[in-house]
């Protein structure tokens, strides 16, 4: 309960969360739930455009606090795929792409087939424009995309991206064609349905 209070004590608004993090709160506990709550809060706060409204020293204090919490969580749970994803997300905000790649790869190694974390990794990968110049990272992302392609929720997201990202279309079609016919048809059905919605 004390770990939960620490998270709730950070407040609900972006302003109160930033103030709490600048002062070193909340901190990860030993439980997986505590770590997830704190690191989710960190990622949400740091990726919120409102953080640009505070001065550079405050932003750096918040980033350092969150990075410290990730390192503490990894010290307790080095095989936790979510914590590695959080590390990647925080490094993304610094523009440290090699560290993002390394953390995403560790996340894949520790949970290669779980849909919920594959979805998070795929959303983060979408923001990295240099993926195609890194064959190893592209292979890792393709593995995540294939996990998405084999679930109803994931297929819907891929179909959305098919229409919103022209550069993505050929790549995802090539991947979908490696799947069984039933899964190919499901993807095609989602693409058609979303296309019809877009056309009104």
Query: For 58-77, how does the pLDDT look when each residue is reduced to its tens digit (9 = 90+)?
Result: 999 999 999 999 999 999 99
Residues with Cβ within 8 Å of residue 99, at least 6 apart in sequence: 87, 88, 91
Please, are residues 80 and 35 in contact by the beta-carbon 8 Å criterion?
yes
Burial 77-110 (b: 16+ CB within 10 A, else e): beebbbbbbbbbbbbbbeeebeebbbbbbbbbeb
Q: Which carries the bigger pLDDT value, residue 159 or residue 128?
A: 159
Distances (CA, A) of 129 to 134, 167, 193: 10, 11, 28
Under the banding of pLDDT at 50, 70 and 90, the label for residue 1 is very low
Segment 133-145 mean pLDDT: 85
* pLDDT computed for residue 129 by the predictor: 66
- Tell me the DSSP string of 112-142: TT-HHHHHHHHHHHTT-TTGGG-HHHHHHHH
- Tell me the DSSP string of 35-95: HHHHHHHHHHHHHSGGGGGS-HHHHHHHHHHHHHHHHHHHHH-TT-HHHHHHHHHHHHHHT
Domain assignment of residue 185, given as a range: 100-200
Statement to judge: residues 107 and 142 lie in one domain:
yes
Please, are residues 93 and 58 in contact by the beta-carbon 8 Å criterion?
no
- Whether residue 25 lies inside any domain: the answer is yes
* pLDDT computed for residue 200 by the predictor: 62
Statement to judge: residues 108 and 193 lie in one domain:
yes
How many domains, in total, are found in the chain?
Answer: 2
- Whether residue 83 lies inside any domain: the answer is no
- Whether residue 50 lies inside any domain: the answer is yes
């Amino acid at each position: 309960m004390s770990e939960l209070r620490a998270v709730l004590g950070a407040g609900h608004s972006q302003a109160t969360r930033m103030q709490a993090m600048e002062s070193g709160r909340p901190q990860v506990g030993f439980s997986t739930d505590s770590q997830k709550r704190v690191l989710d809060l960190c990622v949400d706060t740091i990726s919120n455009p409102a953080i640009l409204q505070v001065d550079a020293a405050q932003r750096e204090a918040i980033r350092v606090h969150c990075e410290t919490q990730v390192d503490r969580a990894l010290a307790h749970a080095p095989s936790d795929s979510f914590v590695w994803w959080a590390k990647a997300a925080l490094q993304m905000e610094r523009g440290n792409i090699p560290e993002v790649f390394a953390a995403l790869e560790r996340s894949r190694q520790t949970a290669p087939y779980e849909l919920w974390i594959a979805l998070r990794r795929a959303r983060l990968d979408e923001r990295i424009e240099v993926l195609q110049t890194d064959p190893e990272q592209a292979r890792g992302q393709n593995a995540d995309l294939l996990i998405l392609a084999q679930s109803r929720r994931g297929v819907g997201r891929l179909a959305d991206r098919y229409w919103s990202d022209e550069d993505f279309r050929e790549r995802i079609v090539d991947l979908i064609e490696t799947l069984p016919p039933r899964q190919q048809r499901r993807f095609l059905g989602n693409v058609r349905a979303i296309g019809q919605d877009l056309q009104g």
